[in-house]
């Protein structure tokens, strides 16, 4: 079922007007921005750092590259890419949410990373860059929040240079029944309470848990990337399939 054929879409388990979803997602991330990093560590027991490290290792980023860290939020991937591309390269930290961008900019400046990073507020469905202008795109834990994922993937394909690659790091589906039950209990019972205690916001974290369940599974996302034009599309499951890293190339 293609999202673009309908006037409604999912917002977690709710069905909402397509035009309203972006602002509803924005409200979630305005709410959680200040506590985003500490909640990531608490929610994943720090494992998110290993997932991101694997994405960085598979990105093939080199000196002189122009990299888009899309939905880059507080800049975990941007920080490493900034070091990898060097003075002759550029990293664009792009996010639809200005609160997240501000947190990311402050964090990266505190790390002394300023010379080769640009901050741009943008919508993944209509990326504000010329065709064939970016070497590598990463989107980590952001695609599931995009209203029209097919449009976003086509937009990413358009701006990649021939030979460029896209990496999508996202929560996915585990086929381990015991792990799935444990994960569901954690997501819908413990996670919202943790959000209430730490970020004073249980509803945003309930949405995040629901949005994970509504995201396409590994094979479906692989097919969506291929429909957008990507070739040699593969994925790697991590932590039993709770997270998957998809990779595709433009030729």
Q: Report the alpha-carbon distance of residue 77 to residue 93 in Å, rounded.
A: 9
148: pLDDT strictly greater than 90: yes
**Does residue 60 lie within any of the structural domains?**
yes
Q: Which of 96-110, 156-170, 188-202 has the lowest mean pLDDT?
A: 188-202
**Does residue 33 lie within any of the structural domains?**
yes
**Does residue 128 lie within any of the structural domains?**
yes
5: pLDDT strictly greater than 70: no
Q: Report yes or no: 150 and 42 within 8 Å, Cβ to Cβ.
A: no
pLDDT (mean) for 94-121: 94
23: pLDDT strictly greater than 70: yes
Does residue 34 sit in helix, strand or coil? helix
Which residue range is the domain that position 213 belongs to? 3-175+206-249
* Overall domain count for the chain: 1
**Does residue 215 lie within any of the structural domains?**
yes
Q: Which of 20-34, 68-82, 105-119, 132-146 has the lowest mean pLDDT?
A: 20-34
Say if residue 110 carries a ligand binding annotation. Answer: no
Provide the pLDDT for residue 38.
Answer: 75
Residue 42 vs residues 34, 55, 80, 198: alpha-carbon distances, Å: 14, 20, 22, 9
**Does residue 187 lie within any of the structural domains?**
no
Half-sphere exposure of 170 (CA within 13 A, CB side): 30
Q: Report the alpha-carbon distance of residue 28 to residue 18 in Å, rounded.
A: 16
Q: Report the alpha-carbon distance of residue 82 to residue 71 in Å, rounded.
A: 16
**Cα angle: 199, vertex 180, 245; to 5 degrees:** 75
Question: Residue 63 sits in a domain of what CATH number?
Answer: 3.40.50.150
Provide the pLDDT for residue 52.
Answer: 96
**Does residue 192 lie within any of the structural domains?**
no
Say if residue 95 carries a ligand binding annotation. Answer: yes
pLDDT in tens, 57-89: 999 999 999 999 999 988 999 999 999 999 999
**Does residue 227 lie within any of the structural domains?**
yes
**Does residue 193 lie within any of the structural domains?**
no
């Amino acid at each position: 079922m293609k999202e673009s054929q309908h006037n409604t879409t999912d917002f977690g388990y709710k069905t909402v007007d397509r035009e309203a979803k972006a602002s509803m997602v924005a409200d979630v991330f305005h709410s959680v921005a200040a506590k985003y990093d500490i909640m990531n560590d608490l929610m994943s027991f720090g494992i998110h750092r290993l997932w991101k490290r694997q994405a960085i290792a598979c990105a093939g980023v080199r000196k002189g590259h122009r990299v888009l860290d899309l939905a880059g939020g507080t800049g975990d991937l941007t920080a490493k890419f900034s070091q990898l591309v060097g003075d002759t390269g550029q990293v664009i930290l792009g996010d639809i949410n200005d609160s997240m961008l501000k947190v990311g900019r402050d964090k990266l400046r505190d790390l002394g990373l300023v010379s080769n990073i640009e901050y741009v507020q943008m919508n993944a469905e209509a990326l504000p860059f010329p065709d064939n202008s970016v070497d590598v795109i990463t989107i980590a834990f952001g695609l599931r929040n995009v209203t029209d994922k097919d449009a976003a993937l086509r937009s990413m394909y358009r701006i990649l240079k021939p030979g460029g690659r896209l990496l999508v790091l996202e929560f996915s589906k585990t086929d381990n029944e015991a792990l799935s039950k444990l994960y569901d209990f954690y997501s819908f019972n413990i996670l919202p309470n943790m959000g209430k205690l730490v970020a004073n916001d249980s509803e945003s974290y309930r949405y995040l848990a629901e949005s994970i369940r509504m995201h396409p599974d590994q094979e479906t996302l692989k097919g969506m990337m291929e429909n957008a034009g990507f070739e040699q599309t593969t994925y790697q499951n991590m932590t039993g399939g709770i997270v998957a890293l998809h990779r595709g190339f433009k030729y």
